[in-house]
């Protein structure tokens, strides 16, 4: 299964605010999660045969990762992982506990997008 999100996804730091020890999702994050849900449904037609199966998830984040002088921009790709995985798996109605392999890759590009590929590893657990 391949899902293409045609925009840059923000870091988790931009999606929550804190009240004491409680993390609260911002309105922007709720709207973004809804938009990702619509993309997932469009890409998968709402069909998912990956329930109770060990999964491999590969994520490629396409962005301009370099400064004008060629040095690498200070952008932490791991801060985007949790919200992105939670949003996609929530839309698919799959528990992310079934992820047994996971990789993320930065891809240098002027076009910003995220590609999420989800594949079964083995038969049902």
Q: What is the CATH number of the domain that holds 80?
A: 3.30.1330.70
In the chain, how many domains are there?
1
| Contact present, 114 and 2 (Cβ < 8 Å) | no
Which residue range is the domain that position 17 belongs to?
2-124
The rounded distance, in Å, linking the Cα atoms of 54 and 118 is 10
Q: Which two tokens stand for residue 64?
A: 């301009």
Mean pLDDT of 102-114: 95
> Do residues 98 and 54 touch, judged by C-beta distance below 8 A?
yes
Radius of gyration of the chain (CA): 15
pLDDT tens string 58-79? 999 999 999 999 999 988 888 8
Average pLDDT, the chain: 87
What's the pLDDT tens digit per position in 42-56? Answer: 877 655 667 778 999
pLDDT at 31 over 60: yes
What is the model's pTM? Answer: 0.84
What sign results for the dihedral spanned by CA atoms 91, 1, 77, 109? Answer: negative
Q: For residue 37, is pLDDT > 70?
A: yes
């Amino acid at each position: 299964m391949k899902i293409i999100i045609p925009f840059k996804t923000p870091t988790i730091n931009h999606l929550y605010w804190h009240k004491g020890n409680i993390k609260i999702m911002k309105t922007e994050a709720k709207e973004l999660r809804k938009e990702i849900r619509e993309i997932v449904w469009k890409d998968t037609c709402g069909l998912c045969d990956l329930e109770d199966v060990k999964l491999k998830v590969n994520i490629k984040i396409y962005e301009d990762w370099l400064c004008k002088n060629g040095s690498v921009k200070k952008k932490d790709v791991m801060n985007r992982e949790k919200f992105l995985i939670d949003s996609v798996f929530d839309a698919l109605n799959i528990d992310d506990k079934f992820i047994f392999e996971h990789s993320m890759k930065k891809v240098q590009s002027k076009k910003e997008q995220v590609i999420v590929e989800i594949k079964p590893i083995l038969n049902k657990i």
